[in-house]
Amino acid sequence: MTPLAQSRVGRSRKARNFAAVAWMVGAVLVAFIPLLFIIVHVVQKGLGVVLRSFPHFLNDALPLITTNAGGGIRPAIMGTLLMTGAAAAMAIPLGVMGSIYLNEYGRDGRFARILRFFAEVMSGVPSIVMGLFIYTIYTLQKGWTGFGGSLALACLMLPIVIRSSEEMLRLVPNELRQASLALGCPQWRTILSVVMPAAAPGIISGSMLAIARAAGETAPLLFTIGIVSRTNFDLFHGPNTALSQQIYTNAFAGPFPGPQERAWGSALTLIAIVMLCSVVARVVAARFTKVQQS
Amino acid sequence: MQNLPATHRLTGNRRPNRGDRAFRSVALACGLAVLIILGLIAFTSTNKAWPAFSKEGLGFVFSDNWAPNEKHFGALALVFGTILSAAIALLLAVPVSVGIALFVTEIAPPRVARIVTSVVDLLAAVPSVVYGLWAMLALAPNIVGLYTRIGSATKSIPILSAIFGGQAQGYSLTTASIVLAIMITPIITSLAREALATVPPSDKAGALALGATQWEAIRVAVFPKARGGLVAAVLLGLGRAMGETIAVAMVIGSSPQITSHIFSPSATLAGTVASQFGEASGTHRAALIGLGVVLFGITIVVNSAARMLVARADRALAA
Amino acid sequence: MINRIHASQIAKTAAGALVIALGLSACGSDGGTTTATTTANGSTSATTGTKLAAATLNASGSSFQMTLEQSALAAFTQANPSITINYAGGGSAKGKQDLADKVVDFAGTDSAVKPEDLGKFKGATLLYFPIAAAPIAVTYKLGGVAKLQLSAETVAGIFQGDIAKWDDAKIKADNPGVTMPSTNITIVHRSDGSGTTSNFTKFLVAAATNWKLDKGDTITWPKNSVGAEKNTGVASAVTQTDGAIGYVDFADAKKANLAMASIKNAAGEWSLPSLEGAAAALANVKVADDLTFTAANAAGPGVYPITAPTWVLVYAKQPDKAKGEAVKAYLNFLLTDGQTLAPTVNYAALPTDLAAKAKDQLSKLQIG
């Protein structure tokens, strides 16, 4: 406000303005303090566990007796990475190609609109529904497998990848496509060589966020993967475990220091992996925005 | 922005060559595959849940008798727990989220705004099981004292005593709502921020030039235009809160009941599915899948409402 | 143009780093898995002399027997490194359901399959192998009350919600001379289908005439009670709430240092949970042909009345040869070396004749 205007503002209006500003700043504090407190708590509890006789916690197998202390979470780390990786390998290509269809071919056609609606609806569905679906059609036939978990995670990632990729493709200026077509490039070459590289950072960023989300999920894995105490590299045979599942299981494993420490250590490790993916995603996206603005 | 035609129409009179046809088919096949997968999920869930639906009829949702050992599957208490826990979570989260969004878009210097935004976005990435772990091991044991104090402070006030009274538990509806509120704050904040950012700065500048205070300018120029987006943000937060399974299951006390005491244990649709599915069979299993379908339905309604509001707000803005 | 290259370069570098890290860490096996000692080998003479073919056994079920199960499989797999056993726990009801779904090779359970549920198994023959018994401790957290005595009727009254405060007359009657605080009672029970619940409620049906809530893996608990998953979840919930009372298996209760109540047994004595009390309860049990039995509220001196047996449940037909042999060897281990192991992890071994009967039942397994 200009000084001239300010001098004429009544006291009650000033007071309300102050209250509103206080609300906004207060909101930031009210949100940040507990949120950061939680993170600090997890780091504090987890770091001691992870660093104790490093790298044993990250490298050893899980103890065979859950309520005992000791052991490590390597099976869970490997499980999370393998299952999420397999899920990404299935969901990302399928989702990106689907979004290419939506944005480059279908646009506003009826089929495209139905597909878009389903993807939108599905991205809001509770993850446990995905888990139950895979349990019914896959786990009951093949038993507990890491691949069942991957399938459930892929179902979870698919709508997210489609929506974010479509968003990114839409942001690519049409002039690029027109120029390429005008120069005689067939449409498929245009999409692959012009549109995709332009949208790539955004698509990568969106995919990494989907991966981060999948890595942190517990519900889809509850009934599909069983549990193990030694690393199982075979996703198709035998049960597996994951960091999120270990956190969940150890949280219920009683008032004993062993499982509780394992839970905090797994939580810290999981947060580290998820944060890494998120940070990479945002760095890539930030560069992309700079490109858009240039 | 002009509405440019789809790419393929730009190709005009050119004959589509083999590469184009092949690529288009692949893309179409992927689109179809996705649709089939997603449709299959919806169809299989409803199909598997059918035995429970046909047995209980509307009583599935409207009768309060969840007793699997007696083969009764009335989920009203679960619906109650789901809605109430989400409502309390919204009550706690919305003022904070909108406040943060306003802070970032209206009054914060750009550097601070960027830091706050980045932190909020990173916090959205924390998995729900980690929040659940913290709530189970750190929050629930220590918050009973606060609940008991609130309970005794409001003992003699009629309505408040019905809400805050009863025997306070650490594993209770309110504890779950607190965790939910913490989890949905980043989501509502980032969506609200986007909604507020779409308002042209000239509107606000005009209000300020006419002598309004900051707050009045926001109220008069920003809120009306951003209202659709803000409500959509709240609705999406609601959808997320109702669908959250793991963190809620860990602290809500797993006791389906309809009660006004918010410091008592409760149960939600998603949480009950998580705790009971492993051991269920036959009608019980169908009933649990049915809970998933009910939740699915509620989420669709809420998300569609949010989408409609955003579309309407976009159209109003473009006009 | 330049910025775009940087963005994809960053992405590629990050992806590359992730892949390299994954590759490096994937090399080699888990640390800390080398067997610490080989002293166990000396005592595993009971296992088959021939080496077992490699097999992975998946199992789930009772959390009541989890401590014993995990200790046993640790010793067994150490002696037979080609076998891997994964015991997922999750409650007796889950174990029985997983076995019906054929997702597991055996189930731990503290309660028999109900007659109306037999259809799930599609007519296949099931074999119950009892492996141990243990007390179910009535644990509580109450400041200032170190010793607590509860008769069966009082326990029933508490757990069905009739008795709301710790200074209730009935509790005071059981504890003459003890000052009870007026704290509210918080009931903690199992939220998952539990054989422990089944055995606990069997005791109440047998011993308390005022118990109204029937028995079973799942019952309808009073309002405002807290449900927790698994025995360990109940133990956690009890430790965290002042005034809480819940039923937990003896091994977990002891390990968590929970206060346990003395229960009045059928002979009128106050009995603290103990392995001797459990053994006394097992002394005169009447065992059915399929080796199921109940030890609730057993008659006689020195008995701990809430003693619960626990079984391993398998299909008689084992189509996979390697898995079948592994199951047989493991069950044999449980019934021989496992019986010596049990008291060291707070479970009562079976009476010798019952263990012998169970070993005889091993011949009913049809392998291959």
- Decide if C225 and B255 are in contact by the 8 Å CB cutoff: yes
What residues of B are in contact with residue A265 (Cβ under 8 Å)?
none
Phi and psi at residue B149, to the nearest 5°: -65, -45
| Band (C10; pLDDT cuts 50, 70, 90) | low
Q: Which of C84, C102, C236 is closest, CB to CB, to A255? A: C236
| pLDDT value at residue C42 | 35
Q: Which residues contact B162 (CB under 8 A, 6 or more apart)?
A: B260, B261
Higher-confidence residue of B228 and C165: namely C165
Q: Is the pLDDT of residue B140 over 50?
A: yes
The whole-angstrom separation of Cα C226 and Cα B68 is 17
What residues of B are in contact with residue C218 (Cβ under 8 Å)?
68-69
| pLDDT value at residue C36 | 36
| pLDDT value at residue C25 | 58
- The helix/strand/coil state of C179 is coil
Residue A252 has, within 13 A of its CA and on its CB side, a CA count of 27
User: For residue C7, what are the CA distances in angstroms to A170, A205, A224, A283?
Assistant: 19, 10, 37, 8
- The helix/strand/coil state of C226 is strand
Tell me the per-residue pLDDT of A83-111, one tens digit each, with 9 for 90 and over: 999 999 999 999 999 899 888 888 888 88
Tell me the per-residue pLDDT of A129-179, one tens digit each, with 9 for 90 and over: 889 889 989 999 999 999 999 999 999 999 889 988 988 888 888 898 899
Cβ atoms of B184 and B154 within 8 Å: the answer is no
Cβ atoms of B238 and B86 within 8 Å: the answer is yes
Phi and psi at residue C36, to the nearest 5°: -70, -45
Q: Which residues contact A155 (CB under 8 A, 6 or more apart)?
A: A91, A130, A133, A134, A220, B37, B41
CA C314 to centroid of chain Cα atoms: 16
Cβ atoms of A284 and A226 within 8 Å: the answer is no
The whole-angstrom separation of Cα C305 and Cα C273 is 9
pTM across the whole model: 0.87
| pLDDT value at residue A78 | 94
Tell me the per-residue pLDDT of C189-207, one tens digit each, with 9 for 90 and over: 998 888 899 999 999 999 9
Any bridge partners for residue B74, and if so which? B65
Tell me the per-residue pLDDT of B173-205, one tens digit each, with 9 for 90 and over: 999 999 999 999 998 998 898 888 888 888 888
What residues of A are in contact with residue B278 (Cβ under 8 Å)?
222-223
A229: closest CA of chain B, how far (Å): 20
What average pLDDT does range B274-295 have in this prediction?
85
What average pLDDT does range A46-75 have in this prediction?
86
In DSSP notation, A49-91 reads: HHHTTTTHHHHBPPPSSTTS-----HHHHHHHHHHHHHHHHHH
| Band (C83; pLDDT cuts 50, 70, 90) | very high
Residues of B with CB under 8 A from a CB of C: 67-70, 140-141, 144, 166-167, 169-171, 253-255, 257, 259, 261, 264-265, 267, 275-276, 278-282
User: For residue B143, what are the CA distances in angstroms to B22, B136, C240?
Assistant: 62, 11, 11
User: For residue C289, what are the CA distances in angstroms to B124, C127, C231?
Assistant: 58, 11, 29
- The most confident of the ranges A276-280, B315-319, C313-317 is C313-317
Higher-confidence residue of A119 and C67: namely C67
What residues of A are in contact with residue C103 (Cβ under 8 Å)?
139-140, 143-144, 226
A251: closest CA of chain B, how far (Å): 6
- Terminal alpha carbon distance of chain C: 67
Q: Which of B70, B254, B279 is closest, CB to CB, to C97? A: B279
Q: Which of A139, A231, A253 is closest, CB to CB, to C232? A: A253
The whole-angstrom separation of Cα A217 and Cα B245 is 10
- Mark A248-275 as b/e (b = at least 16 C-beta within 10 Å): bbbbbbbbbebbbbbbbbbbbbbbebbe
CB atoms within 10 A of CB C11: 22
Complex ipTM: 0.87
The alpha carbon torsion through C137, C143, C145, C148 (nearest 10 deg) reads -20
C12: closest CA of chain A, how far (Å): 10
| pLDDT value at residue B70 | 76
Residue C213 has, within 13 A of its CA and on its CB side, a CA count of 25
| Band (A37; pLDDT cuts 50, 70, 90) | confident
Q: Residue B145 is encoded by which pair of tokens?
A: 């004292």
The whole-angstrom separation of Cα A47 and Cα A38 is 14
Cβ atoms of C189 and C197 within 8 Å: the answer is yes
Cβ atoms of C202 and C307 within 8 Å: the answer is no
Cβ atoms of A122 and A159 within 8 Å: the answer is yes
Q: Is the pLDDT of residue B47 over 60?
A: yes
Q: Which of B8, B34, B214 is closest, CB to CB, to A105? A: B8
| pLDDT value at residue A80 | 95
What average pLDDT does range C214-218 have in this prediction?
87
Q: How large a percentage of chain A has pLDDT more than 90? A: 39
